[in-house]
Amino acid sequence: MLRTDEKLESLFAKVRTLTTMRQELAVEALLEIADPSLYILSNDERAVLEPALERAQRNEFASEKDVSEVLYKSWS
């Protein structure tokens, strides 16, 4: 019977033969197992967040007035 480290090496060898897309899936899965506190954004999540990050890098933030309007808006 193979030891755990031998099983891992065999698996890594198989993963290296996969397409890039499948290798990326394997990497994401291993990252989640190895570091559960690490969250990897999906492409959809990244697409939603990137424009906001770009605005922040340009120092384009909501005004205090805009923030107050949202925070103190009556939702009833």
Q: Average pLDDT by consecutive 10-residue portion of the chain (76 residues)?
A: 91 96 92 84 92 93 91 86
pLDDT at residue 64 in the model: 92
On whether residue 69 sits in a domain, the answer given is: no
Angle between helices 20-34 and 4-16 (to 10 degrees): 150
Q: Is residue 70 part of a domain?
A: no
Whether 8 maps to a domain, the answer reads yes
State the pLDDT at residue 53.
92
Q: Whole-angstrom Cα distance, residue 55 to residue 60?
A: 5
Q: Quote the pTM value.
A: 0.48
Per-residue pLDDT, 32:
84
Total domains, the chain: 1
